[in-house]
Structure 1
Amino acid sequence: MTDLRNAVVVLTGASSGIGRAAALAFGRRGARLVLAARRRDALEEVAEACRRVGGKAVVVPTDVTDPQAVQALADEAVRIFGAIDVWINNAGTGVFGPYQDAPLDLHRLTIAVNLLGGMHGAYAALPVFLAQGHGTLITNISLGGWAPAPFAAAYTASKFGLRGFTASLRQELRRHRHIHVCSVFPAMIDTPGLDHGANVSGKRIDAGPLVYAPEDVAETFVHVARHPHDEVAVGWPARAAQAAYALAPGPTEHLMGIAIHRALDRASPAPVTHGALRAPLDDRRSTSGGWRDRHGVPSARRLSTGLGLGLALGVGALLLAATAAAKSR
């Protein structure tokens, strides 16, 4: 599907962060959007923004942990637009801190949103795809699906599960040439999700210097909708995590453990929060989490491009110097 104009796109987690950026990215391509999240007022703001850039959008408030609500989302999309061309499982959350220090229901909610939410989406979307003979299911997984994250055990469990689930579905549907099951694995992204998750560590989360923009993931969704791929990473840290854990899982696990422990040792104190897991937060609705602005750093994509260009220029200068020296001999 190279042309997304009038394509019907169902998007969960659409009220902020990556979901909000994705809604606008598809809206600019003229897609017909069905936006889902728990907050109707936030969804209405996103829908209006999508209409301003050329898309069509309706909102269907949905809690992805409720399979009946997700089925109602699919039914409403078909009722209004007559089809579903792309379904994006984007809703996600997490708990950061020692596993035993968080109330157990927060871990269960993490699994319910991330893993079961994705399964509910697939269960609702696939019958529509099979009936119409085409469709693309895209699931936002994160680099947490490739390498375990210490102090995020439930999150890691949900993401490892999602990767296995989507890989299994992909092979089930291999004989349906026009139905695609795709997975996207972003590196660290600057979204409000860092605040919406629970943090029971008592330490402030530092996203680090390599933080990608939500728009980077949104454009990846658009690319995958147009040109389906099985598994796509967003940002070289995600690719590096994939390669490292595949080639040397033991050392990679230990290095990640050492790095996170040291980061927590240096982190400043922060209040314990349960975020938006039990109920939506009535906070600012935005695409960015504001981390890059607060720390004065560009998107990691721009930074990496600049570093790569600088490295290439440096190598080129060395080669030229070496060539000139050889000619002068």
Structure 2
Amino acid sequence: MSRTVVVTGATSGIGRAAAREFAGRGDRLVLAARSRTTLAEVRGECEKIGAEVLAVPTDVTADGALEALTDAAVTRFGGVDVWVHTAAVMAYGRFEETPERVFEQVVRTDLLAAAGAARVALRHFRATGGGTLILTGSVLGHITAPFMSGYVASKWGLQGLARALQQEARETPGVNVCIVTPGSVDTPVYQQAANYLGRIGRPPLPITSPERVARAIVDCADRPRREVSVGRVNLVMRFGFTLLPGVYDVLVVPLMRIAGLTNRPVAPHEGTVFTPNPAGESVRGGWLPDLAQLARGVGELPASIGGAVRRRLR
């Protein structure tokens, strides 16, 4: 049966992949993000798959924006069955060198806006008899990494919020609260992040695809669970952080400099913390090879080699 699904942060990364995944299931979509132009692109992508789509340009940190998004969904589709919150921004820099306004906006977007989305979604679900809220956390909600203090603080807060909401939801039959916690994901958020560190960030290996995270989100909508971890080494990192904290803290800074930062220099900038960058929005960030393109290349290799040999023999 078709559902009405709200997706915030729908123009890039996990949110855009999730929108496509729900569209492929035949669900009705309410897509929200800051960029009107990119949001129109995503709407077109999902309509081409066959979904009925409402696109609502939304800054999740603006007063009243999430209430207006809910009202738009109710007006168009009569209600909301699933709310997926993926909107997030990031900033790199030592804590004391990151501008206060940037740090606070990261927390406002990644934690307080998630709380706002949860508030309007849960009120709606209680009023209508049920629904599923899916928050997008991070393995950094269970461990820490240097030079990302605003993001880490937000994800730890989101983890605690999700747990508290799950406890409260036990008293409301039909209402589910889930959190999906990926590790490193191939999205543009690293290039789009504010940066006061002098080097562009990147996802440490191993990296998973946003499509895999999107499938976990859709699976939670189908079969709600408290938490789903997406990433091959998430549990290993959590184990080291919890049971070997001294060793973890000794290793994490040099590992972050090696694995979590590129060698590409960058001047201080605010990234997309305050305003979107439509030119940088896409499902993937280019950190993983395009496996489909790679497979096509491998398939064409024998013919290419054969052609080269024939030309050489002429």
**Please, what TM-score do these two structures have when normalized by structure 2?**
0.88
2:67–2:120 Cα contact (<8 Å) kept: yes
Runs of 4+ in 1 over 3 A off after TM superposition: 246-251, 261-268
The corresponding residue for 1:42 is 38
1:193 equivalent among 189, 195, 201: 189
Measure the CA separation in 1 of the matches of 2:104 and 2:281.
26
Task: Give the gaps of 5 or more residues in structure 1.
Answer: 300-329
Say whether 1:125 aligns with 2:121.
yes
Cα displacement (A) at 1:80: 1.1
Structure 1: distance between partners of 2:219 and 2:101:
36
SS of match in other structure, 2:288: helix
Change (3 A) 1:274 1:175: same
Within a 5 Å distance, the mapping from 1:279-290 to structure 2 comes to 279-290=275-286
Partner of 1:312: none
Query: 2:135 is paired with a residue of what secondary structure?
Result: strand
State the Cα distance separating 1:120 from its structure 2 match. 0.6
Letter in 2 for 1:154: G
Q: Is 1:52 equivalent to 2:48 in the alignment?
A: yes
Aligned to 1:311: none
Matched, 1:64 2:66: no
- Note the C-alpha offset of 1:89: 1.1
**Which SS does the other structure have where 2:271 is aligned?**
coil
Work out the CA distance in 1 between the residues paired with 2:224 and 2:130.
12
Q: Quote the Cα distance in structure 1 between the aligned partners of 2:121 and 2:140.
A: 24
Kindly indicate whether the alpha-carbon contact (under 8 Å) linking 1:206 and 1:267 is maintained by their aligned counterparts in 2. Answer: no
Instruction: Give the SS at the match of 2:5.
Output: strand
Contact 2:191 2:200 survives alignment (8 Å) = no
SS at match of 2:208: coil
Corresponding residue for residue 255 of structure 2: 259
- Check conservation: 2:8, 2:85, Cα contact below 8 A: yes
CA distance change for structure 1 residues 72 and 265 in 2, over 3 Å: closer, same or farther? Answer: closer
Is the CA contact (8 Å cut-off) linking 1:44 and 1:59 kept in structure 2?
Answer: yes
Deviations along 1:236-277, one digit per CA (max 9) or x if unpaired, are 122322333343344334332342245579834333332111
C-alpha change, 1:250 and 1:79, in structure 2 (3 Å) is farther
Assess if the C-alpha contact under 8 Å between 2:34 and 2:58 holds in 1. Answer: yes
Task: Give the whole-Å Cα distance in 1 for the aligned partners of 2:162 and 2:261.
Answer: 36
Question: Could you tell me which residue of structure 1 aligns to residue 153 of structure 2?
Answer: 157
Question: TM-score, normalization: structure 1?
Answer: 0.84
CA distance in 1, matches of 2:249, 2:25: 41
Within 1, Cα distance between the matches of 2:220 and 2:261? 39
Could you tell me which residue of structure 2 aligns to residue 276 of structure 1? 272
Q: Tell me, in whole angstroms, the C-alpha distance in 2 between the residues paired with 1:216 and 1:71.
A: 30
Letter aligned with residue 7 of structure 2: L
CA deviations 1:28-68 (Å, max 9, x no partner) are 00000000001112111111111111211101111111240
Q: Which residue of 2 aligns with 1:307?
A: none
In structure 2, give the amino acid aligned to 1:7: R
CA deviations on 1:97-134 (whole Å, 9 max, x unpaired) are: 21122211110110010001100101111111001111
Specify the SS of the correspondent of 2:84.
Answer: strand
Cα distance between partner residues in 2 of 1:196 and 1:118: 20
Aligned-residue sequence identity (percent) comes to 38
Unaligned segments of structure 2, at least 5 residues: 293-314
The counterpart of 1:33, out of the listed 1, 7, 29, is: 29
For residues 5-44 of structure 1, the aligned pairs below 5 Å read 5-44=1-40
Contact 1:14–1:36 (8 Å) recurs in 2: yes
Q: Distance in 2 between matches of 1:261 and 1:24?
A: 34
Matches within 5 A, 1:1-329: 5-263=1-259, 267-293=263-289
RMSD, aligned CA:
1.9
Distance 1:67 1:266, change over 3 A: closer
User: Which amino acid in 1 is paired with 2:230?
Assistant: V
Distance across 1 between alignment mates of 2:278 and 2:222:
35
C-alpha distance after superposition, 1:77-98 (max 9, x if no partner): 1111111111011001111121
Q: Quickly say closer, same or farther: Cα 1:48–1:148, change in 2 above 3 A.
A: same
User: Cα offset for 1:76?
Assistant: 1.1
